[in-house]
């Protein structure tokens, strides 16, 4: 509603910026999603209690329920483990554990910590907690992966990843590491779908799907060595980037700038040098070290030089009991290589966006990060002209109208006021400028967008 009088010169104020939230989605899917999001910890605890109580009070079912809690397929003579279908029960348990543990850690530890640090905005507090959870997880799994790699037979020797195929037996720590990582990545697919969608939702979803397919196939076809190396190469970035973002949220722009540089360097070295080296090894080393054919899993002896062209039967060999020969062929090799190159293409697109944002920071030009979990996503800035209050009395300065006459001034009573509805002008989104480095002449900075950026958020 706009207050309007018989005079036509009461609209001289500067437009005021208002925020308008997007309309809420009230669909059934959205209600289910919110129900799961708001009760992640409760649902997880109930599932875990149900399994635990079933195990304790129904001894006849322990042979079935124990597979959720302990590693399966142990060889008592060697102390090593094989792969099999029952391992998927262990993965399911850890998906539930990660769901509840993540929710509890964020709600009762990380978000209160963020508020104690002075981060006031609810969305920034949530982002800080999400990134801190990633730091906690990868600070445990990445050193574990490094330890397994340093003590392995293929340390610093990529062709050795393909030796001794099929690699049927695993050390307990390797099996635990691989299954927990598999569970984490499946749980990340759940997180991407049940929590608020970010700008890069489909890119992240594609990345997680490819990762899970590779882990499922490599575990079932006895290729855990290469899977382990890929995880070690990829995981370190997921410590550095969340740390840089949290320095931004906490209000340490200089430290964040430094960490942002470390992040770019780490990303480039691990994902555009080391990872392509693994892809090259798939292309070059496999035909030499592990030529196509069918092998006896128990003796590792080649039974036939003809590996056929089947894919599914060979990638689920371990899940189906590991009986009979397992084959490796050119179709399977090219399928693995295709998935790895698709992953490389995706992270190359991301790195291009990262470099664009970095250039914007250094040059002071506007930066639009399409990987961003935009901090203001869901809110639009809209400028609405606001009327000035009715002025009663004389104006300090007189201006002439287009007809040459002075505008008429008079005092009006409330009975002469007319209320007229005014429609809001179309929403106008504001451009975000790169931040993180103070550049003279650019005072309208917004925090460096989403996943990348180091400027102190306004209002914390």
Residue whose pair of structure tokens reads 């009760």 in the numeric block: 39
Percent of the chain with pLDDT over 90: 57
- Return the CA Rg of the chain: 30
Name the DSSP class of 109.
Answer: I
Average pLDDT of the chain, as a whole number: 80
Question: Cα separation of 167 and 221, whole Å?
Answer: 9
pTM of this prediction?
Answer: 0.76
pLDDT category, 12, cuts 50, 70, 90? very low
pLDDT category, 448, cuts 50, 70, 90? very low
Tell me, what's the pLDDT at 66?
94
Q: What is the mean pLDDT of residues 306-321?
A: 91
Query: Residues 73, 82: contact at Cβ < 8 Å?
Result: yes
pLDDT category, 416, cuts 50, 70, 90? low
Instruction: Inform me whether the pLDDT recorded for 27 exceeds 50.
Output: yes
Instruction: Inform me whether the pLDDT recorded for 8 exceeds 70.
Output: no
Name the DSSP class of 70.
Answer: S
Alpha-carbon dihedral 77, 83, 89, 94, rounded to 10 degrees: 90
Query: pLDDT tens digits for 139-154?
Result: 999 999 999 999 999 9
Tell me, what's the pLDDT at 406?
55
Query: pLDDT tens digits for 334-392?
Result: 999 999 999 999 999 999 988 887 887 777 653 344 445 444 444 433 333 444 454 44
Question: Cα separation of 198 and 204, whole Å?
Answer: 9
Instruction: Inform me whether the pLDDT recorded for 158 exceeds 80.
Output: yes
Query: Residues 291, 310: contact at Cβ < 8 Å?
Result: no
Cβ atoms within 10 Å of 333's Cβ, excluding its own: 17
Tell me, what's the pLDDT at 35?
82
Query: pLDDT tens digits for 169-188?
Result: 999 999 999 999 999 999 99
Instruction: Inform me whether the pLDDT recorded for 408 exceeds 90.
Output: no
Question: Cα separation of 29 and 34, whole Å?
Answer: 9
Question: Cα separation of 191 and 108, whole Å?
Answer: 19
**Residue 379, φ and ψ in degrees, nearest 5:** -115, 140
């Amino acid at each position: 509603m706009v207050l309007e009088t018989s005079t036509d010169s009461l609209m001289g104020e500067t437009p005021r910026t208002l925020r308008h939230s997007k309309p809420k989605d009230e669909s059934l899917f959205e209600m289910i999603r919110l129900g799961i999001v708001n009760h992640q910890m409760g649902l997880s605890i109930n599932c875990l209690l149900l399994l635990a109580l079933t195990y304790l009070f129904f001894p006849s079912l322990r042979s079935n329920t124990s597979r959720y809690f302990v590693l399966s397929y142990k060889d008592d003579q060697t102390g090593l483990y094989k792969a099999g279908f029952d391992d998927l029960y262990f993965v399911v348990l850890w998906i539930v554990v990660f769901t509840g543990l993540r929710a509890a850690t964020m709600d009762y530890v990380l978000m209160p910590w963020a508020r104690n640090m002075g981060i006031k905005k609810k969305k920034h507090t949530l982002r800080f907690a999400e990134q801190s959870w990633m730091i906690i997880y990868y600070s445990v799994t990445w050193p574990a992966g490094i330890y397994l790699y340093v003590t392995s037979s293929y340390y610093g020797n990529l062709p050795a990843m393909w030796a001794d195929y099929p690699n049927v037996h695993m050390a307990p720590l390797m099996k635990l590491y691989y299954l927990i990582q598999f569970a984490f990545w499946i749980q990340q697919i759940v997180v991407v779908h049940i929590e608020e969608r970010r700008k890069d939702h489909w890119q992240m979803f594609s990345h997680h799907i490819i990762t899970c397919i590779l882990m499922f196939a490599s575990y079932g076809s006895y290729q855990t060595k290469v899977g382990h190396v890929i995880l070690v190469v990829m995981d370190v970035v997921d410590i550095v980037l969340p740390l840089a973002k949290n320095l931004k949220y906490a209000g340490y722009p200089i430290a964040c700038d430094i960490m942002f540089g470390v992040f770019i360097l780490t990303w480039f070295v691990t994902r555009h040098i080391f990872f392509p080296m693994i892809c090259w090894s798939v292309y070059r080393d496999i035909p030499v070290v592990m030529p196509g054919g069918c092998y006896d899993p128990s003796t590792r002896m080649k039974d036939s030089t003809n590996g056929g062209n089947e894919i599914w039967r060979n990638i689920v060999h371990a899940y189906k009991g590991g009986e009979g020969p397992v084959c490796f062929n050119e179709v399977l090799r090219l399928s693995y290589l295709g998935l790895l190159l698709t992953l490389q293409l995706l992270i190359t697109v991301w790195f291009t966006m990262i470099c664009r944002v970095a250039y914007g920071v250094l040059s002071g030009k506007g930066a639009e990060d399409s990987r961003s979990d935009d901090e203001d996503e869901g809110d639009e800035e809209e400028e609405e002209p606001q009327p000035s209050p009715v002025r009663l009395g004389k104006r300090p300065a007189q201006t002439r109208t287009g007809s040459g006459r002075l505008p008429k001034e008079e005092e009006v009573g409330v009975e002469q006021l007319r209320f007229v509805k005014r429609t809001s002008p179309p929403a106008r989104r504001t451009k975000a400028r790169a931040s993180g480095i103070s550049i003279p002449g650019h005072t309208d900075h917004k925090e460096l967008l989403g996943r990348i950026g180091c400027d102190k958020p306004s209002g914390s």
